[in-house]
């Protein structure tokens, strides 16, 4: 599976903790991330992550393009709902494209844990069938 990681600044530490906790599962999949999130997670966990631009510089759009080309199977997007971002309209576009392409997406830790456990159980194997 191809898993994309995005975290707003206030949620980066939460993403790191999540990736530490589920490093064993995540290490068996292809990971990509926006620049800063990918750098921090990779340095902390040792996970191999393809890093795009930072979110503010267009990394979210790069991930959106991957989703649109069916090159992402799951998005973990830890959003900060309390502090609006200058590039927030881009965030809505990422969520919209996930909806259009039936990409499982988690915007918080609770949903991310449900998805990661489902991934481990094989609940998302239907994504692999689509790639054949």
Model pLDDT for residues 37-80, shown as the tens digit of each residue? 999 999 999 999 999 998 888 999 999 999 999 999 999 999 99
Residue 128 or 69, more confident: 69
- Alpha-carbon dihedral 110, 69, 54, 109, rounded to 10 degrees: 0
**Tens-place pLDDT, residues 6-41:** 999 999 999 999 999 999 999 999 999 999 999 999
What is the bridge-based pairing of β-strands 105-106 and 74-78?
parallel
pTM score above 0.85: yes
**The domain 2-126 belongs to what CATH superfamily?**
Methylglyoxal synthase-like domain (3.40.50.1380)
Burial of 82 (0-12, 13-18, 19+ CB in 10 A): exposed
Spell out the domain ranges in the chain.
2-126
């Amino acid at each position: 599976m191809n898993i994309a990681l995005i975290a707003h600044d206030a949620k980066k530490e939460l993403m790191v903790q999540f990736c530490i906790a589920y490093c064993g599962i995540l290490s068996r999949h292809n990971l990509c991330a926006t620049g800063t999130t990918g750098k921090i997670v990779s340095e902390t966990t040792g996970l191999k992550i393809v890093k795009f631009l930072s979110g503010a510089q267009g990394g979210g759009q790069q991930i959106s393009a991957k989703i649109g080309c069916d090159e992402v199977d799951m998005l973990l997007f830890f959003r900060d709902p309390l502090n609006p971002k200058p590039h927030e309209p881009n965030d809505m576009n990422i969520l919209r494209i996930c909806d259009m392409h039936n990409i499982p997406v988690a915007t918080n830790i609770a949903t991310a844990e449900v998805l990661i456990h489902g991934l481990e159980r094989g609940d998302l194997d239907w994504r692999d069938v689509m790639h054949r």
